[in-house]
């Protein structure tokens, strides 16, 4: 018998907030709501699998049960993504028009302060690191542009990339999370230059951390890098961002080369090479699924050959 895992409180709150406590299908704010597992697996509590729906629509989805096209998982996912991006857009418009210059300056300062705290905190204080990253996450949702947070993180990355594995892992995971809402896809979201700049910066920071952990032969961090790159790659493919993909591929190439050279004179960091090769194959498959993007495939192959 399998034990059903409860949705973690933080994920639940986050999903409810992103959906403004409102059903993503009918968008009727007066109706009672539930959280629906889109893929039908009640143990998959990843926020991308959770949709906020009213009881009426939840019944409809469950009756459809995948047999009709009305509420297939893909359709529910589209409703979720579309509604979440609408909520986000409305919030951004509201907050930008009401914020004073002093407030803006304060939150700019606050972001830097937290980033410096993050650097100075000990690497075994996982709770302390996680709390600061969570604070940055909320600052980035509510108060400061994502680019600014990434920019501040970029300044300090070299201080922890080589020697502080826990911090490096958590930062890499958080950066992929900062950009997760871009995954709503081009049908629902028009990507701007600012978003593209954010993606560039994210790729740069994650790449830097990847190269650092290749030098010190740290497999744990390399695995985090690989997961984060895979998430970002999916976004690049969906928006057809080929020059970004090339940058990512170049980092990948550099990481593999570094793994091969690591501990030169003794032996190469084979586990690192293996992990990165696995990632490269994963990226190719992802690009292959989307046939219009033949360039991606060539790129990821060319970059490592």
Choose between 25 and 153: whose C-beta lies nearer to Zn ion: 25
Total interface residues for Zn ion by CB under 5 A: 5
57 forms part of the interface with Zn ion (CB under 5 A):
yes
Q: What is the sign, positive or negative, of the torsion defined by CA atoms of 217, 245, 230, 144?
A: positive
For residue 53, the Cα-to-chain-centroid distance in whole angstroms is: 24
24 forms part of the interface with Zn ion (CB under 5 A):
no
118 forms part of the interface with Zn ion (CB under 5 A):
no
Choose between 81 and 249: whose C-beta lies nearer to Zn ion: 81
54 forms part of the interface with Zn ion (CB under 5 A):
yes
Choose between 17 and 162: whose C-beta lies nearer to Zn ion: 17
Q: Which stretch binds Zn ion (CB under 5 A): 15-23, 104-112, 139-147, 161-169?
A: 15-23
Any long-range contacts for 254-261 (C-beta under 8 Å, 24+ apart)? Answer: 254/207, 254/211, 255/207, 255/210, 255/211, 255/214, 255/222, 255/225, 256/214, 256/280, 256/304, 258/211, 258/214, 258/215, 259/214, 259/217, 259/222
61 forms part of the interface with Zn ion (CB under 5 A):
no
What binding mask, one character per residue, do residues 268-287 give for Zn ion by CB under 5 A, x or -?
Answer: --------------------
20 forms part of the interface with Zn ion (CB under 5 A):
no
Choose between 57 and 211: whose C-beta lies nearer to Zn ion: 57
Any long-range contacts for 195-201 (C-beta under 8 Å, 24+ apart)? Answer: 196/241, 196/244, 197/147, 198/146, 198/147, 198/150, 199/232, 199/235, 199/236, 199/241, 199/244, 200/244, 200/247, 201/147, 201/150, 201/151, 201/154
Choose between 34 and 163: whose C-beta lies nearer to Zn ion: 34
Min dist. Cβ of residue 175 to Zn ion (A) = 34
Min dist. Cβ of residue 65 to Zn ion (A) = 17
25 forms part of the interface with Zn ion (CB under 5 A):
yes
Count Cβ neighbours within 10 Å for each residue of 261-285 and write b for 16 or more, e otherwise.
ebeeeeeebeebbebbeebbebbbe
Q: Which stretch binds Zn ion (CB under 5 A): 11-19, 57-65, 108-116, 191-199?
A: 57-65
Q: Around 192, how many Cα atoms within 13 Å sit in the side-chain half-sphere?
A: 3
Q: Which stretch binds Zn ion (CB under 5 A): 21-29, 39-47, 118-126, 155-163?
A: 21-29
23 forms part of the interface with Zn ion (CB under 5 A):
yes
Q: Which stretch binds Zn ion (CB under 5 A): 23-31, 170-178, 205-213, 263-271?
A: 23-31
Helix (H) or strand (E) segment spanning residue 36: strand 33-37
The rounded distance, in Å, linking the Cα atoms of 149 and 111 is 7
Min dist. Cβ of residue 54 to Zn ion (A) = 3
33 forms part of the interface with Zn ion (CB under 5 A):
no
What is the binding site for Zn ion (CB under 5 A)?
Answer: 23, 25-26, 54, 57
């Amino acid at each position: 018998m399998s034990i059903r895992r409860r949705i973690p409180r933080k994920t639940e709150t986050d999903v409810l907030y992103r959906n403004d406590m409102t059903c993503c299908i009918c968008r009727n704010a007066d109706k009672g709501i539930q959280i629906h597992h889109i893929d039908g697996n009640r143990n998959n509590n990843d926020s991308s699998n959770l949709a906020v729906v009213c009881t009426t629509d939840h019944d409809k989805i469950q009756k459809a049960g995948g047999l009709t096209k009305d509420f297939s998982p893909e359709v529910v996912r589209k409703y979720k993504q579309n509604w979440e991006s609408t909520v986000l857009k409305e919030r951004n418009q509201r907050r930008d028009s009401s914020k004073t210059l002093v407030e803006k300056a304060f939150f700019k300062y606050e972001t830097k302060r937290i980033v410096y705290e993050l650097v100075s905190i000990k690497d075994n204080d996982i709770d302390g690191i996680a709390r600061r990253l969570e604070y940055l996450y909320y600052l980035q949702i509510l108060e400061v542009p994502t680019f600014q947070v990434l920019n501040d993180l970029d300044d300090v990355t070299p201080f922890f990339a080589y020697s502080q594995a826990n911090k490096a892992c958590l930062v890499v995971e958080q950066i992929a999370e900062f950009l997760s809402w871009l995954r709503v896809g081009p049908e629902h979201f028009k990507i701007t230059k600012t978003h593209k700049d954010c993606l560039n910066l994210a790729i740069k920071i994650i790449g830097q951390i990847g190269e650092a952990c290749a030098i010190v032969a740290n497999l744990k961090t390399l695995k985090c890098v690989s997961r984060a790159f895979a998430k970002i790659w999916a976004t690049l493919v969906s928006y057809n961002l080929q020059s970004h993909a090339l940058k990512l591929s170049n980092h990948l190439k550099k990481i593999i080369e570094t793994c091969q050279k690591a501990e030169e004179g003794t032996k190469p960091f084979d586990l690192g090479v293996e992990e990165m090769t696995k990632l490269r194959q994963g990226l190719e498959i992802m690009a292959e699924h989307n046939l219009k993007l033949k360039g991606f495939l060539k790129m990821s192959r060319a970059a490592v050959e």
